[in-house]
Amino acid sequence: MAYDPNNIFAKIIREEAPCFKVYEDDMTLAFMDVMPQADGHTLVIPKFPAEDLLDLDPDYVAAQAMTVKKLAPAVKKAFDAPGIMIAQLNGSAAGQTVFHFHTHIIPRRSGLEMKLHAREMADFDMLKEHAERIKAALA
């Protein structure tokens, strides 16, 4: 499959679609997942047109990893989570639903069931508040 420059994440990068932004630098962007599997579910994407890890420029792989490493502790702190799940899916057979490389950061705790991936839209006011909590934890 060829990269689709009109996928939702490409539109978010170009500011043609809204997001609840958490962090941005020259090479990456982080925002709240609008269909979260748990409160605080954050996505990190490269500002590079890559469908999956196999297409991603090595410099962007490094930038992506650095942003995930920076944000994971902030997400964990903001949601007082004892654990954090980092997930990255490549291809529909692996569960990827948006074909622009991205990494999931999901706060985890024992006994908390995760919602199904990409099934139910969250309340936008709640997502805005979650983004603010993560930003505060980054400061």
Q: Of residues 100, 102, 104, 130, which has the active-site annotation?
A: 102
Which residue range(s) make up the domain with 32?
8-138
Q: Is position 99 within any domain?
A: yes
Q: Is position 3 within any domain?
A: no
Residues 6+ apart with CB under 8 A from 69: none
102 a catalytic residue: yes
Helix axes 124-138, 58-78, angle to 10 degrees: 100
Q: Is position 121 within any domain?
A: yes
Q: Is position 123 within any domain?
A: yes
Q: Is position 2 within any domain?
A: no
Residue-wise pLDDT tens digits, 60-117: 999 999 999 999 999 999 999 999 999 999 999 998 999 999 999 999 988 766 655 6
Enter the tokens of residue 44: 């990190």
Q: How many domains does the chain contain in total?
A: 1
For residue 90, the domain's CATH number is 3.30.428.10
pTM assigned to the model: 0.93
Q: Is position 68 within any domain?
A: yes
